[in-house]
Amino acid sequence: MHFDLTEEQALIKKTMRDFAEGEVAPGADERDRTKAFPEDVFHKLTKLGVMGLPFPEQYGGGGADTISFAIAVEELSRVCASTGITYSAHISLGGAPIHLFGTHEQKEKYLTPLCTGEYLGAFGLTEPNAGSDAGGTRTTAKLDGDQWIISGSKCFITNASFAKNLSLTAVSDRSKGTDGISAFIVPTDAPGFTVLSNYEKMGLHASNTTELVLENVTVPKENLLGKEGHGYKQFLATLDGGRIGIGAMAVGIAQGAYDKSLHYAKVRKQFGHSLSAFQAIQFKLADMAMNIELARNMVYKAAWLKDQGRGFKKEAAMAKLFASEICMKACDQAVQIHGGYGYMKEYQVERFFRDAKLLEIGEGTSEVQRMVIARQIGC
């Protein structure tokens, strides 16, 4: 399947490329060093009108398709993966569950401010004892009259320090297993709700990663998202879309590493020749270019299937798995091509290398993707 971008998609690509080069790239190294969240970047993205890019215009969104979303994530990630993951999670994890499963009233109240950039979207699934095994959720929700009382904790949650409301899962009926897990929209300033941002991470330093602690947090009955007992299914469906975002991130990081490596190989002289004249380097660059092209097409195919209303679970898992693994290899080779300079922060590829690793872990590890694919092909 070959993709020719539509006029709208091509315009989004150019707009996001120009924005990434002009507004995101200049401060990326400094943010990585200081761990400063790119608040100013997101104020500018809000003015650009892309914070609700793939959501309906009636809720303040851009009415664009999933391929456009993937393009936006790729272009941001090409220069700063922390910005890329913040944007991707805002839409595919923060906004998507409300868009997919919320009532009209919930969308007006909670999706609209996400689309207009009033605050960032976040999503609480992972727990200290329930990572790949999302069915092992321990957080509980008890109905008391006309309100739910939620207690428990979540970990590795993106964007929660900058969210006013977020969706999360909790067990509403312990006797039903995963069919007893429900989803709720919870305000982050509710009494008993604490957001902690204490993680020391390997990479993605300018991304906000938090713990959530809920101690008898009460929310109105109408804050149930979707049907009671459907939270587990709803969040797994959300992750299918999220994997398109992670795949796009991986393509972006890999493209950034490749671009820097190709440039370096052309200007760096060794033994009287530029590095790009040596076949060993040519082959590394050829493999990078080939794998990035394949990964991008896989991400676009999964996005296209989603836009057509067709099944895309297998394709999203394949795209996320392949893109994240070739991204890690591309960043590894980028460091190698740069030699000793590749190990130094000044040349940026070591930042790409550190940032890339999470993509083989987040939103389902590579092992989980292989499990999903195996089930989809009938194993």
Overall size of the chain counted in residues: 379
Nearest to 90, CA basis, from 163, 38, 27: 163
Q: Tell me the DSSP string of 51-88.
A: TTTTS-GGGT-----HHHHHHHHHHHHTT-HHHHHHHH
340, two tokens? 């000793």
Give the whole-angstrom CA distance, residue 99 versus residue 303: 16
Cα separation of the two ends of the chain: 26
Q: Residue type for 69, please?
A: F
Residue partners of 305: CB distance under 8 A and separation at least 6: 311, 312, 315
Nearest to 81, CA basis, from 258, 203, 200, 209: 203
Q: Tell me the DSSP string of 283-326.
A: HHHHHHHHHHHHHHHHHHHHHHHHHTT---HHHHHHHHHHHHHH
| Identified catalytic residue from 75, 315, 360, 363 | 363
Residue 108 annotated to the active site = no
Q: Which residues are catalytic?
A: 363
